[in-house]
Structure 1
Amino acid sequence: MDLSSLRPAAGAVKNKKRVGRGQGSGNGTTAGKGNKGQQARSGYQKPINEGGQVPVYRRLPKFGFTSLQRKPIKTLNLSQLEDWIQDGLITGEEISVYDLKALCSGSYADYFKILGNGEITTAIKITAHFFSKSAEEKIIKAGGQVIKAYRTLEEASKIRDLSVEEALLKPKAKLVKRVKKSAKP
């Protein structure tokens, strides 16, 4: 017995039912869909019907929401940065937001946060949007410097008067709510 002699069992393989191929087949004309109406048209799908039972979309609760203020934050540990320095992916004494974007496969709209997992031995100047307290302490302890960026690369590139590097470090203006003065009685 070899692979070329294997065959499916008798009756296991059936031809596909070809509807709408003439009246002699028994499924011509209306192709088994009955006469007219929405159900006879293409694109119709039967709604999920569970009989009298309460359907699953009503049994399960609604939960969660999508915040409109959500920031896409990419996180990096100090151990990752140290590995990149040891491997030669980071050269020099400074890591910019551009470097973080390239190393993390991030986008121009991403914020970057440095977390304190691991140790860093080289004195390096790191520019990122957020730092955990432990990461900040470890970087400074190693003789490095922490620089906080306020804008994403995408936001910084839209500021015309400044270069992207300067715009990254410029704080955003805070929105001031205007309060209507009420008429004094």
Structure 2
Amino acid sequence: MDLSSLRPAKGAVKTKKRVGRGQGTGNGTTAGKGNKGQQSRSGYKRPINEGGQIPVYRRLPKFGFTPIDRKPVTTVNLSQIARWIEIEAVGKEISILDLKNLCHASSSEYFKVLGNGEISVAITITAHAFSKSAEEKIVAAGGSVVKAERTLQEAARVKDLSVDDALLKPKAKVVKVVKPKVKKS
């Protein structure tokens, strides 16, 4: 046996069905597309057309809306954090930058720590939000939680502060100033 005698198994290689190549082939004339109509023609077919039936976009009601200020939230469980500590991916202090790198998240995302799992090591963790159970478990293990006010993207824009300090600095509240009306005499 040599390389020139190798052949594919019988029935393994099928010839491609060539449509529209004469009536004798069995796939001529209409090329398997049936008679007339939009589906028999070439080109784009609108998925919206349902042929006289009320289409889905009219059948179902409008519902809800997309909030303009929606914040993408990345959740991190205590079980994940415990695993990271176990494999020494993080130290005793976990910053938002660590969470961003380990979760492969964007710098505009908020991080919330959830209480799924157990933690036995005292750690200090910085995140935007903590579930009640996560906060209790971290404090019970001898650790502490630090709540950040800004995303990494927002913190990078703050002048005269490092990113770590800017994360914790509260955002300025916009106060509407009402000017008293002066009566004309």
- The aligned runs of 1:32-43 (5 Å cut-off) are none
Measured against aligned partners, the alpha-carbon deviations of 1:26-46 in whole angstroms (never above 9, x if no partner) come to 9xxxxxxxxxxxxxxx97656
How far does residue 88 in structure 1 lie from its aligned partner after superposition?
1.3
1:6 counterpart letter in structure 2: G
Structure 1 residues 47 and 100: CA distance shift in structure 2, 3 A? closer
The answer for the alignment partner of 1:70 in structure 2 is 70
- Is 1:113 paired with 2:112? yes
Write the distance in 2 (CA, Å) between the matches of 1:137 and 1:83.
19
How far does residue 62 in structure 1 lie from its aligned partner after superposition?
2.0
1:64 counterpart letter in structure 2: G
Cα root mean square deviation, aligned: 3.3
Measured against aligned partners, the alpha-carbon deviations of 1:104-158 in whole angstroms (never above 9, x if no partner) come to 1111111111111222111111111101111111111111111111111111001
Write the distance in 2 (CA, Å) between the matches of 1:8 and 1:84.
50
Q: Secondary structure at the match of 1:156?
A: helix
1:118 counterpart letter in structure 2: G
- The aligned runs of 1:138-153 (5 Å cut-off) are 138-153=137-152
- The aligned runs of 1:143-182 (5 Å cut-off) are 143-178=142-177
- Count the aligned residue pairs: 160
The answer for the alignment partner of 2:11 in structure 1 is 6
Structure 1 residues 47 and 127: CA distance shift in structure 2, 3 A? closer
The answer for the alignment partner of 2:84 in structure 1 is 84
How far does residue 87 in structure 1 lie from its aligned partner after superposition?
1.5
Write the distance in 1 (CA, Å) between the matches of 2:119 and 2:71.
27
How far does residue 6 in structure 1 lie from its aligned partner after superposition?
2.4
So what's the TM-score if we normalise by structure 2? 0.72
The answer for the alignment partner of 2:26 in structure 1 is none
1:155 counterpart letter in structure 2: E
Q: Secondary structure at the match of 2:105?
A: coil
Write the distance in 2 (CA, Å) between the matches of 1:55 and 1:68.
28
- Is 1:15 paired with 2:14? no
1:167 counterpart letter in structure 2: A
Write the distance in 1 (CA, Å) between the matches of 2:65 and 2:141.
41
2:57 counterpart letter in structure 1: Y
Q: Could you tell me the percent identity over the aligned residues? A: 60
Structure 1 residues 44 and 103: CA distance shift in structure 2, 3 A? closer
How far does residue 85 in structure 1 lie from its aligned partner after superposition?
0.7
How far does residue 98 in structure 1 lie from its aligned partner after superposition?
0.7
The answer for the alignment partner of 2:33 in structure 1 is none
Q: Secondary structure at the match of 2:71?
A: coil
Measured against aligned partners, the alpha-carbon deviations of 1:30-81 in whole angstroms (never above 9, x if no partner) come to xxxxxxxxxxxx9765684444432232112222321111111111111111
Write the distance in 1 (CA, Å) between the matches of 2:100 and 2:110.
9
The answer for the alignment partner of 1:132 in structure 2 is 131
Write the distance in 1 (CA, Å) between the matches of 2:176 and 2:93.
39
1:95 counterpart letter in structure 2: I
1:171 counterpart letter in structure 2: P
